[in-house]
Amino acid sequence: MKKILVVDDEFVNIELVKEFLSKEYEVHTATDGKEALAKAEEMSPDLVLLDVIMPEINGYEVCRQFKSNAKTFFIPIVMLTSLTDRNDRIKAIEAGADDFLSKPIDWIELGARVKSLLRIKQCLEDLEKINNRYIELYDFAPVGYFTFMSDGKIREANLTGAVILGGTRHDLINHGFRRFVIPGDCEKWDQHLSNALKNWGEQSCELMLKRDEGSMLLVRLTSFRMEAMDGKPEVRTAMTDITHHKIRA
């Protein structure tokens, strides 16, 4: 059951909202901003209904603190207010509120807004799971994946790629790949990168590399031209360690 935190310093308002929502949701309450922030850390609500006018900390400041905390940033916040001035609504938006409702509350509208925001939050959570799964598959793929900038520097590398080269991603990002290429194959690497940047088709080559710790390996590169977010060309490359295949052959 989805959890909703209702924050209001008026007991009557809290009870009315709680009674309306408790049929479908697990409702928690707080009567001031400090209690709301503490409860949010503790229970991780799926949505917050937040009154504007409260003692000590007003709703705008509570909202700002929610949105400045990584743990509570993505929790939808609906501001509840009896204030009708346009500037008050602008303040709510500037504080990071996702929606606002005027008092006295229209219960049908409240129910619809809550459902809508919870649905959006669920979609975002589902997308995050898909993205995390993609990252996991990308990192632990059986081949190394790299993205090279046009100057040959490494912009991205998966975990397998870092392992193949004998380092960590921190050691690789924004550093030139050429340092791993043995002198006799540097021209071949330069030509491969140039061909990949100029052509949209698949480009392949084999290179002898030397890890920083001194061991040698033979790899096959398969590269494609891509475009970065800024429109500049870059190269996406799959790297396979074929050292042992060549030895057995």
Residue 54 in contact with residue 7, Cβ under 8 Å?
yes
**Start-to-end CA span in the chain (Å):** 60
Number of domains in the chain: 2
Burial class (CB in 10 A: 0-12, 13-18, 19+), 153: middle
DSSP helix/strand/coil, 11: helix
Q: Is the pLDDT of residue 6 over 90?
A: yes
Q: Look at residues 87, 104, 137 and tell me which one is the last residue of a structural domain.
A: 137
pLDDT, one tens digit per residue, over 190-216 is: 999 999 999 888 999 999 999 989 999
Same domain membership, residue 189 and residue 72: no
C-alpha 215/C-alpha 213 separation (Å) is 6
Q: Look at residues 103, 137, 171 and tell me which one is the last residue of a structural domain.
A: 137
DSSP codes, 178-222: GGGB-GGGHHHHHHHHHHHHH-SS-EEEEEEEE-TTS-EEEEEEE
Q: Is the pLDDT of residue 83 over 80?
A: no
Domain with residue 98: its CATH number is: 3.40.50.2300
Report the pLDDT value the prediction gives residue 246, as an integer from 0 to 100: 62
Same domain membership, residue 212 and residue 96: no
Mean pLDDT of the region 44-68: 91
pLDDT, one tens digit per residue, over 7-43 is: 999 999 999 999 999 999 999 999 999 999 999 989 9
Same domain membership, residue 239 and residue 131: no
Same domain membership, residue 181 and residue 82: no
Residue 78 in contact with residue 56, Cβ under 8 Å?
no
- For residues 73 and 146, the model is more confident at 146
Mean pLDDT of the region 103-129: 90
Domain with residue 187: its CATH number is: 3.30.450.20
Report the pLDDT value the prediction gives residue 95, as an integer from 0 to 100: 87
Tell me how long the chain is.
249
Q: What is the mean pLDDT of the chain?
A: 90
Tell me which residue range forms the domain holding 69: 3-137
Quote the pTM value. Answer: 0.61
Same domain membership, residue 83 and residue 204: no
Q: Look at residues 122, 137, 152 and tell me which one is the last residue of a structural domain.
A: 137
Q: Is the pLDDT of residue 88 over 80?
A: no
